[in-house]
Amino acid sequence: MSGDHHGSSAISERVRHVEALLEARGLVDEGEIDRRIDEFLAGGSPANGARITARAWTDPEFRDRLLADANAAIREVGLSMAGGLQEQRLKVVANSAEEHNVVVCTLCSCYPIALLGPSPAWYKSEAYRSRVVRDPRGVLAEFGLDLPPTTRISVWDASAESRYMVVPRRPEGTDGMSEEQLAGLVTRKGLIGTAAV
């Protein structure tokens, strides 16, 4: 057995112990924690982030509120970052012609599951987590996103307390599209910043 297995086994034992204590003290019903986690994961989808992006593209006032206080703004569309005992802070950043944003969690894989669904394997990989900070332009090129040399790249490092989401630039020629049609153009990679829309 590897050391990693022992570490995860020890953590699993501690988690089970805390769950048993919470149940014994009547703070949660048996199985309640697993049910809440399942409900949270079931509701998490890139479609949520796409819907927020489409609203930001079509409603400048919503966009301003989203960039100023994302947690409050997403409640306007029936979403939240409450996935546990407390709400995680969400910061939304918007791409422009001058600046491109990309999200990473250098320590582990913190990520806004409620808005983007479960994180892709590459987001959790050591290669992405370490390289995107050192060479964001090179990593983005590997994803097929070649930005002009004049475009500034900002890398946002998520944490246990804070999550980030990118509002990609709205594609040209989409003025007549509905919010629903616009949302259909947005991908999870676009919401992380590793692709354009």
- Cβ partners under 8 Å of residue 99, min gap 6: 151, 152, 153, 154
Respond yes or no: is residue 108 known to be catalytic. yes
Binding residues: 105, 108-110
Binding residues for Fe(3+): 105, 108-110
Respond yes or no: is residue 9 known to be catalytic. no
Respond yes or no: is residue 12 known to be catalytic. no
- Which residue of the set 108, 125, 130, 178 is catalytic? 108
Respond yes or no: is residue 109 known to be catalytic. yes
- Which residue of the set 109, 119, 154, 162 is catalytic? 109
Q: State the catalytic residues.
A: 105, 108-110
